[in-house]
Amino acid sequence: MDPGQAVVFHWDQSRGSKGLEKLIGTDYRGLLGVDGYSAYRAYVQPRQEVELIGCWAHARRKFIEAKEQSPRVAGWVLNQIAWLFRWEKTHDRQPLPANARDWVRASHSRMVVKRIGQALRVLLKRYRPKSLMRQAIEYTLNQWRPLTALLDHPQAELSNNFVENAIRPSALGKKNWLFIGHKQAGQRSAIVYSLTETCRMLGINPYEYLKDVLARLPLTSDSELATLTPTGWKKAKETQFAQAA
């Protein structure tokens, strides 16, 4: 994981696209890896310079839910999606050239994605509107443009599982507490979540980091604040370790 990356939580009282504008800004240009939540489409609609990248893990999950109802068809779709993840994993594990992912997607993944799309369009009318299989097919076809966009962008990931893993603690926490209290408490919680999950991403013990940073913070000048970010803190620790050795 690139040590320059970070996990950022944003608190907003609305789940609409306005919250995205506050977090990302109105001038963002580039790719946006997302699930099928409608607010993302609303954000992108007036911005041609932003392109959505769909999540194949979310599409796969829908067919897993439908497998008991339609084991044969769901099993076939899941097998096709498995090939996509298998090729991506092979690329990520091996020291391949920079353009290797582009080549793999052009020569392997594109063919499989096309086959999935053709099959789903044929299968759509065979299932009742409220059946799990029909819902899985409709979800995937409704997300088809974002799901296929990654074929043209080798830097894009096949899924946003990294984000899902980062937000899992807060998602589980919602079952333990229903109300955040004042909106300022929500923003403070978002800051703590951001620091904690960035530490986890960088392989830092969150408790050790927060204990050290909170003790040093009152005596730290503004010019030294960068050294207290998870990235800066880790770099300083690695430097200290190297000097001690």
Q: Which amino acid is at 170?
A: S
Residue 75, classed as helix, strand or coil, is helix
209 band by pLDDT with thresholds 50, 70 and 90: very high
Q: What is the pLDDT of residue 92?
A: 64
Residues 59-112 pLDDT 10s: 999 999 999 999 999 999 999 999 999 988 876 666 666 677 788 888 899 999
What phi-psi label fits residue 34: left (phi over 0), alpha (psi between -120 and 50 degrees) or beta? beta
Q: What is the pLDDT of residue 245?
A: 67
Q: 213-241 burial string, b = 16+ CB within 10 Å, else e?
A: beeeeeeeeeeeeeebebbebbeeeeeee
Q: Which of 125, 147, 146, 145 is nearest to 134 (CA)?
A: 125
pLDDT of residue 10: 84
- Calculate mean pLDDT across residues 131-158: 94
pTM: 0.78
Query: Above 70 in pLDDT, residue 180?
Result: no
Of 154, 8, 143, nearest to 92 by C-alpha is 154
Mean pLDDT of 110-123: 96
- pLDDT > 90 fraction of the chain, expressed in percent and rounded: 51
| Spatial contact of 126 and 60, defined as CB atoms under 8 Å apart | no
4 pLDDT exceeds 60?
A: no
As beta bridge partners, residue 53 has 33
Please state, rounded to an integer, the average pLDDT across all residues of the chain.
87
Residue 22: count of CB within 10 angstroms of its CB: 13
Q: Report pLDDT digits (tens) over 210-237.
A: 999 999 999 999 888 889 999 999 998 8
Query: Residue 3 has what pLDDT?
Result: 43
Residues of the chain above pLDDT 70, percent = 88
Phi/psi of residue 117, nearest 5 degrees: -60, -45
Q: What angle do CA 110, 67, 128 make, to 5 degrees?
A: 90
**pLDDT at res. 144:** 97
Residue 187 contacts residue 8 (beta carbons within 8 Å): no
- Give the pLDDT band (50/70/90) at residue 179: low
Q: Which carries the bigger pLDDT value, residue 116 or residue 170?
A: 116
Single-letter code of the amino acid located at 199: C
